[in-house]
């Protein structure tokens, strides 16, 4: 009886410590990390035997979303190969973007069914197409596609993680800009569904009526709106209040 009671106490203690560690870990995630060595593998699973998706060099920034057995789950960088079979994408005229026509479509790490699944696409999602290969489209990795990297190769960055910042966006001011409307990429989990490319190669994420912006994709426009901060961001958000087609 004493032995069974002791085992029960030890089990409950271990369970409590596990829950406590999980709670402490959850408070620290997600965060921006920096790769601290060269030629570090990003893998399809949290094991050294899983397939390599891509490699990262020292000083590369990664967004860490969780921790499992000494491995960090990260959002895939833009350099990571991401492929979708052509049968589930409807490409535009220039094939620079495409709409997903199937439900829960697999994103794979290479152009073939044998490659690892690294994400899923929902019907209607817009993706940016990089190239075509053997009946597959290579796309820009979406927000919800992931890989794994050994935690010892990632150090916390001094940079503040935007995903955990709860302050409302800073309103910088009212602006008038001209440029071309393009799809932003994946629709889910983003505040903006389109972007504006200006003649001086500026990029602004557009926050506005999706149907109206869809109708003006690839068109030259003049936009009046509120520029949301921070102003020094490489792609600030522009909240559209008025949009006009420019001949």
Which among 186, 180, 190, 240 is positioned nearest to 216, based on CA atoms?
180
Residue 4: per-residue pLDDT:
61
- Ranges for all domains in the chain classified under CATH 2.40.50.500: 168-245
The CATH architecture annotation of domain 83-144 reads Roll (2.30)
Q: Residue 16 pLDDT > 80, yes or no?
A: no
**pLDDT average, residue stretch 108-133:** 86
CA pair distance 114, 118, nearest whole angstrom = 12
Strands (E), the chain: 31-35, 40-43, 52-56, 61-68, 71-75, 83-85, 89-91, 97-100, 105-108, 117-121, 126-133, 136-139, 146-150, 154-156, 171-183, 194-197, 203-207, 220-228, 237-245
* Least confident interval from 17-26, 65-74, 116-125, 190-199: 17-26
- Ranges for all domains in the chain classified under CATH 2.30.30: 83-144
92: tokens are 């535009």
pLDDT, tens only, 37-73: 999 999 988 888 888 999 999 988 888 988 888 899 9
Distant-in-sequence, close-in-space partners of 237: CB < 8 Å, separation ≥ 6: 169, 191, 192, 204, 205, 206, 207, 227, 228
The answer to pTM > 0.85 is no
pLDDT, tens only, 69-92: 889 999 888 888 899 998 888 887
Which among 57, 23, 59 is positioned nearest to 157, based on CA atoms?
59
Which parts of the chain fold into alpha helices (H)?
2-28, 210-214
What CATH number labels 168-245? 2.40.50.500
102, 191, 199 from 202: Cα distances, Å: 33, 19, 7
């Amino acid at each position: 009886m004493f032995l069974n009671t002791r085992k029960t106490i030890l089990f409950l203690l271990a369970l409590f410590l596990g829950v406590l560690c999980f709670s402490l870990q959850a408070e620290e995630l997600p965060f921006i990390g920096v790769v601290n060595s060269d030629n570090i593998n990003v893998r399809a699973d949290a094991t050294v035997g899983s397939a390599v998706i891509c490699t990262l060099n020292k000083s590369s920034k990664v967004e860490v979303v969780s921790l499992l057995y000494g491995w960090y789950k990260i959002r895939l960088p833009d350099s990571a190969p991401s492929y979708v079979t052509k049968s589930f994408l409807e490409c535009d005229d220039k094939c620079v973007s495409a709409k997903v026509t199937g439900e829960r479509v697999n994103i794979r790490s290479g152009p073939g069914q044998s490659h690892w699944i690294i994400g899923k696409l929902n019907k209607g999602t817009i993706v940016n197409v990089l190239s075509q290969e053997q009946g597959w489209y290579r796309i820009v990795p979406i927000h919800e596609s992931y890989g794994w990297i050994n935690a010892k190769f990632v150090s916390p960055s001094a940079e503040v993680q935007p995903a955990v910042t709860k302050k409302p966006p800073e309103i910088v001011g009212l602006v008038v800009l001209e440029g071309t409307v393009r799809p932003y990429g994946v629709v889910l989990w983003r505040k903006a569904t389109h972007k504006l490319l200006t003649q001086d190669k500026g990029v602004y994420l557009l926050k506005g009526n999706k149907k109206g912006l869809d109708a003006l994709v690839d068109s030259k426009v003049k936009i009046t709106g509120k520029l949301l901060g921070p102003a020094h961001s490489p792609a600030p958000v522009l909240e559209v209040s008025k949009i006009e087609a420019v001949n």
